[in-house]
Amino acid sequence: MTRFGMKQILQAQPDLAVIAEAKNTPEAVGIISRTEMDLVIADISLPGRDGLELVKDALALRPKLKILVCSMHDEWLYGERAIRAGARGFIMKDEGGQALVHAVREVLGGNQFVSERLAQRTGPLYLQPTGSNTGILREMSDRELEIFTLIGKGHRTSEIAAMLNISKKTVDTHRSNMREKLSLPNGTALTYYATHWVAGKS
């Protein structure tokens, strides 16, 4: 429904045309590899590999491709990550149709698009599960944050390994690294932290 709504908004513009859609990262990468296009709009939450991986994969195929990330996820945590991954812009889904069209035109015009508050942000970003200004989630890698989110949604190690097509040992290594970065004593504490953080974002 989200893709349909965005398509209707963009197709209504005389200077824009939607030429393809994809429901997951592998499908999107396949389309990008064989289709000429000016811009890709990507979400963060995608089945399998997440949207940040899609950004990297797409640019590996077409380095000059412009990418706009449009997501419901908090821009304070994901906006900077999207730009670092190579996206030219980040917009929240709740910004509305006019804002989406404006962001698309800005990125197509060769400009970077982020919200004013994100553009003006200075200093390090720190977040707790409650959204307070303490914590160190920003220090996690993109993969660690992806696994951290899945842990918070109640997925076990074996499930995460299958979803991300990695080994359980690799997931355990990431869990250990996250515990160290968050100064947590054990896996139970990590699960508790992740669960409350996800709950605070929903």
Mean pLDDT of the chain: 83
Per-residue confidence band for 170, with pLDDT thresholds at 50, 70 and 90: very high
For residue 24, how far is the Cα from the chain centroid? Answer: 13
Domains and CATH numbers, the chain: 2-119 (3.40.50.2300), 137-201 (1.10.10.10)
Please report where in the chains the tokens 């963009």 appear, as a residue.
10
d(CA 168, CA 155): 12
Q: Is the pLDDT of residue 89 over 60?
A: yes
Nearest one of 111, 147, 107, 145 to 125, comparing CA atoms? 145
Cα 2 to chain centroid, rounded: 16
What is residue 181's predicted lDDT score, i.e. its pLDDT? 84
Which pTM does this prediction carry?
0.64
User: How do residues 5-61 score in pLDDT, each as one tens digit?
Assistant: 899 999 999 999 999 999 888 899 999 999 999 999 998 877 666 788 889 889 999
**Tens-digit pLDDT profile for residues 120-155:** 553 333 333 333 333 456 678 888 888 998 998 899
Q: Give per-residue pLDDT as tens, 104-118.
A: 999 999 888 887 766
| pLDDT confidence of residue 69 | 92
Tell me, what's the pLDDT at 127?
A: 34
The residues near 182 (Cβ < 8 Å, ≥ 6 apart) are: 135, 136, 137, 190, 193
Average pLDDT over residues 156-184: 90
**How many alpha carbons lie under 13 Å from residue 84 in its C-beta half-sphere?**
9
Give mean pLDDT, residues 64-91: 84
Question: Which pLDDT score, from 0 to 100, does residue 135 have?
Answer: 45
- Angle, helix 157-164 to helix 142-152, in steps of 10 degrees: 130
The residues, ordered by sequence, that sit 6+ positions from 34 with a Cβ below 8 Å of its Cβ are none
Residue 194 CA: distances (Å) to CA of 80, 100, 127, 133, 172:
21, 31, 12, 16, 15
